[in-house]
Structure 1
Amino acid sequence: MGIDIDRLTGELDDRLADADAELARRFPGDRSGRQPVHTVYVPADRYTADLVPEWGSAAGRTIDEHANLFAELVGDPEVAQRVRAKLDREPIEDLRIDLEDGYGARADDVEDADTTAAARALARSQGDGTAPPFFGLRVKSLEAPTRSRGIRTLALFLDTLLDAGGTPGVVTLPKVTSVDQVEAMVHLLDGIERDLGIDGLRFEIQIETPQSILGPDGTALVARMIHAADGRCSGLHYGTYDYSAFCGIAAEFQSMAHPVADHAKLVMQAAAAGTGVRLSDGSTNVLPVGDNVRAGWHLHLELVRRSLERGYYQGWDLHPAQLPTRFAATFAFYRSGFGRAAERLRAYGERSGSATLDEPATARALADFLVRALHANAVTADEVAAATGLDTDTLTALARPGR
């Protein structure tokens, strides 16, 4: 062959070395660990060390009080049984102690006292094994009117938590309106780590304002925010009601399913793809309580399923009565798709005849679906191995290979 392939390959390797390194740094691929299926927001003054089992008991009582309705809406005894077991074992996967909108504006001495009490309660729950597997704190925003209070609360919470023997979780930064605020959050966490002698603090960016989706220059600022976080951003959380209100949507029509919500989340999804930053949908404030249990449960089941189908594998819950439908919708989603995903993945691995010709990217998506089903406790490792011929480690490596 007259073409010097080795020379040309070496020249292109040199030419693209910086681009290769930058791609690997900015888009390392999806994280391999478990993503919680929800985040529960609890105002700091209502948080106690016993909150997680109390919510589980309250959710179970709601099912008991409306057993026939729950069975009717779920429509699958196996799913209903799994929900019961989940509420007994792990009723909350991710908890956010809220000192922002759910808590409100209080006098400084009151917020200081509630912050300190919540930090000590979290440390106690971690010590006695009743804390959820994921947890954190939502502070007030870095906008000028609330900046000082947010910084003080975060510093006080972390200092108290560590002093009580607790372990820090993630910090949720709300109402982000500029890349500068993200860079400021990185600077703040750097300073706190230095002063407390710790490392590894991470934060979530809460997308609650149109400015975080579309900047004044017409660019998607959320993409720049992810990379401005210098590796500290672990998630993007959509804020249903703030975002809708900022867009001028009438209160009656504000919803996770409104077109303005879909637009924002599609931009978030594209911005986060391949970065290892995870997405969370928002919440519904239509609660299944009192005379509204049927309507609230029915709506929640539909919204959770809708989010899952669109690739938003996490959402917010605001009340114990939402836990049954959160887990029911999640289990049903994965169990209903399990057989088809496993069959296609086995056919791909065996290169056997199949009605669907799947490419490597689709095989990764099939494997990721099964990994998420495992993490959600919707299926067992034995079920997956029997259906696909793959063990959990092999499946995870296929689902999330990194770059």
Structure 2
Amino acid sequence: MQLAIAENEKEQLLQELQKANLKFQQIYPGDKPDRQPVHTVYGGANLFKADTCTRMGEIALKHLQTYAPDFVTLAKALQLEGYQQLPHNTADIAMLQQRLEQLTEKDRKQEPAWLYYTVYDKIVRKLSTEAVEDFRIDFEDGFGNRPDAEEDATAVAAAKELALGMQQKTISPFIGIRIKPFTEDLKHRSVRTLDLFLTTLLQETKSVLPENFVVMLPKVTIPEQASTLVRLFELLEKAHGLPAGALKMETMVEATQIIMDDEGRNPLMRIIRASEGRCIAAHFGTYDYTASCGITAKYQTMAHPVCDFAHHMTKVALGGTGIFLSDGATNVIPVAPQKGEHLSLAQLQENADSVHHAWRIGYGHSQHSLINGFYQGWDLNPAQLPMRYAATYLFFLGNYADALFRLKTFVERAAISTLTKDIFDDAATGQGLLNFFLKAINCGAITEEEVLATGLTLEEVRSRSFYRILEGRRKQH
């Protein structure tokens, strides 16, 4: 049968469409395969020391073992599903733990308590080895407005401590600073702190930045604030002999104007474009944002509906761009109200009840973030770290079977498909599925070997790129 559309006319139209498709794919490349930390811990710059991250891990582990010495206590404290069926007395808990320890991993999964046992074990291991994944040396809210001479001295001292931490290998795998916002009243102070900190750091390290170093710019409302930081980065890179593009930034979603501008548009994408490829993440500032919405202090919480609205708007604006998204912080700190070494049984119980109540709030907030596709959040205190990992590990392990089936099905379909021009579309979809497992591996929820059940090889998993996996398999076929 003769076709009605002439070949040359069809090709001309499809070539025009190709230009539009490729332009779209450049703007929305899909999820990045890079590692995203599960949290960012904030601390005032005046308190930062070379071993801050290590000490936070020690405090966090002691806190967990004090208020949840075993997995049963943790499950009951968080009121996890089926916690009522777990043993109550110490002897029975010890017997259950011993039995689970003696089982192989395969057999252990047949036991109702395996998930909570596994999660607790992973939390202890994480707090012992890499409790803090990302740390922000804070010159903004965590530091406050101080005399110029004091902030100057703090910028120099904090930079020297960071250089020492790099030398001693005691810093977190991701690290950076938060400067003050580029508002009219604070822009000069902000730039001076940035310059002082980086100049001191690079002098101490002979122009070597820490791995995964980033500068966070808070309270961004207009693209010009991001573009100004880019120009400053260029000047600093040139002055210190850094490669072009070495300095990266993050923006913060803290005001209603970054969700909707004066023309009724969401300006987030314009802010990202203004960063000229240097912005890697957008962090939600719970308390500044709720305040900008006119919410009174009593009701400024991550659970407030205005936060979900901002989250959804951010997801819609930046979905598919590869920009990492981070939720905010829980301001209920699980710290015991009663202090001292010789406390009564009633006081000890009051402490446990108070800590467990705060744990449930923090755990619930983290779970809510994960369910809404925010795989990173803020922590303010080492006592919050156990619940960060409890929520994260339960989320990934609880969704493991479903995610495994979905990725396995996609891999099998990709393996038998022929090489077509929509390979990028396939790769973007597969990358989103693969990233679930990459995030789970990065934080310690699962091992690389547990991903092999999808049909991927260890080499393919380690490539972290579904495009390369797909390309390699299609060449084989």
Question: Is TM more than 0.5 here?
Answer: yes
Structure 2 contact 61–127 (Cα < 8 Å) conserved: yes
The residue aligned with 2:111 is none
In the TM superposition, residue 377 of structure 1 has moved relative to its aligned partner by 1.2
Alignment partner of 2:454 out of 366, 388, 401: 388
Residue 259 (structure 2) pairs with residue 209 (structure 1): no
Partner of 2:100: none
Aligned-partner Cα distance in 2 for 1:154–1:208: 21
* Aligned AA (1:397): S
Structure 2 residue 386 is matched with structure 1 residue 319: no
Q: Does 1:224 align with 2:292?
A: no
CA distance in 1, matches of 2:281, 2:409: 34
When residues 11 and 170 of structure 1 are mapped into structure 2, their CA distance, relative to the original with a 3 A threshold, is same
Contact 2:61 2:124 in 1 (8 A): yes
Report how many residues are paired: 395
Q: 8 Å contact 2:43–2:138 — kept in the other structure? A: yes
Matched to 2:247, the amino acid is L
Give 1:66 shift.
Answer: 0.8
Match of 2:94 in 1: none
Q: Indicate the larger mover: 20-29 or 223-232.
A: 20-29
1:397 maps to 465
- Provide the residue aligned with 1:184 in structure 2: 228
Structure 2 length-normalised TM: 0.78
Q: Identity over the aligned pairs, expressed in percent? A: 40
Q: Distance in 1 between matches of 2:233 and 2:438?
A: 32
2:188 maps to what in 1? 148
CA contact (8 A) 1:368 1:399 kept: no
* Structure 1 residue aligned with 2:218: 174
Out of 305, 319, 335, the position equivalent to 2:397 is 335
State the Cα distance separating 1:159 from its structure 2 match: 0.7
Counterparts in 2 of 1:333 and 1:392: CA distance versus 1, 3 Å: farther
Query: What SS does the aligned partner of 1:313 have?
Result: coil
Matching residue of 2:122: 82
1:368: Cα distance to partner?
2.3
Check whether the contact 2:460–2:469 (CA below 8 A) recurs between aligned residues: no
User: Which letter does structure 2 place at the counterpart of 1:151?
Assistant: V
Per-residue CA deviations over 1:88-116 (Å, capped at 9, x if unaligned) read 11010001000001100111111111111
Please show how residues 106-185 of structure 1 align to structure 2 within 5 Å.
Answer: 106-165=146-205, 166-168=208-210, 169-185=213-229
For residue 354 of structure 1, what is the aligned residue in structure 2? Answer: none
DSSP 3-state at the match of 1:186:
helix
Residue 326 (structure 2) pairs with residue 280 (structure 1): yes
> Deviation string for 1:212-264 (max 9, x for gaps)?
11000000011211122111111100000000001011211111221111111
Is the 2:43–2:137 contact (alpha carbons within 8 Å) kept by the matching residues of 1? Answer: yes
Note the C-alpha offset of 1:388.
1.5
1:248 and 2:290 correspond: no
CA drift at 1:289: 0.3
Aligned 8 A contact 1:305 1:333 in 2: yes
Is the CA contact (8 Å cut-off) linking 1:95 and 1:134 kept in structure 2? yes
Moved more, 185-194 or 130-139: 185-194
- Tell me: CA distance 1:256–1:392, structure 2 relative to 1, closer, same or farther (3 Å): farther
Conserved 8 A contact 2:31-2:432:
no
Moved more, 190-199 or 228-237: 190-199
Q: Deviations over 1:145-203 (max 9, x none)?
A: 00000000001111111111151510000011112212222222222222222132111
Q: Partner of 2:107 in structure 1?
A: none
Range that drifts further, 390-399 or 157-166: 390-399
Distance 1:65 1:219, change over 3 A: same
- Report if aligned partners of 1:364, 1:400 keep a CA contact under 8 Å in 2: no
CA distance, structure 2, for counterparts of residue 17 and residue 388 of structure 1: 33
Return 14-23 or 244-253, whichever deviates more. Answer: 14-23
Query: Judging changes above 3 Å, is the alpha-carbon distance between structure 1 residues 20 and 388 closer, same or farther for their aligned structure 2 residues?
Result: closer
RMSD: 2.3
Answering whether residue 44 of structure 2 is matched by residue 43 of structure 1, we say yes
Which residue, 320, 335, 345 being the options, matches 2:407? 345
**Aligned counterparts, 1:61-100, within 5 A:** 61-68=62-69, 69-73=73-77, 76-100=116-140
Unaligned runs of 5+ in 1: 352-358
SS of residue in 1 equivalent to 2:465: helix
Counterpart of 1:398, as a letter, is F
Say if 1:18 and 1:188 are closer, same or farther in 2 by CA, change over 3 A. Answer: farther
Letter aligned with residue 167 of structure 1: L
Contact kept? 2:31, 2:435, Cα under 8 Å: no
SS at match of 1:30: coil
In 2, the alpha carbon distance for the partners of 1:241 and 1:98 equals 16
**TM-score relative to the length of structure 1:** 0.92
User: 1:347 offset after TM fit, Å?
Assistant: 3.6
The answer for unaligned runs of 5 or more in structure 2 is 81-115, 338-353, 414-424, 471-477
**CA separation of 1:79/1:5 partners in 2, compared to 1, >3 Å: closer, same or farther?**
farther
Q: 1:400 to 1:337 in 2, by over 3 A?
A: farther
Q: CA deviation at 1:20?
A: 4.2
Equivalent pair of 2:252/2:284 in contact (CA under 8 Å):
yes
Per the alignment, in what secondary structure is the counterpart of residue 164 of structure 1?
helix
Report if aligned partners of 2:327, 2:378 keep a CA contact under 8 Å in 1: yes
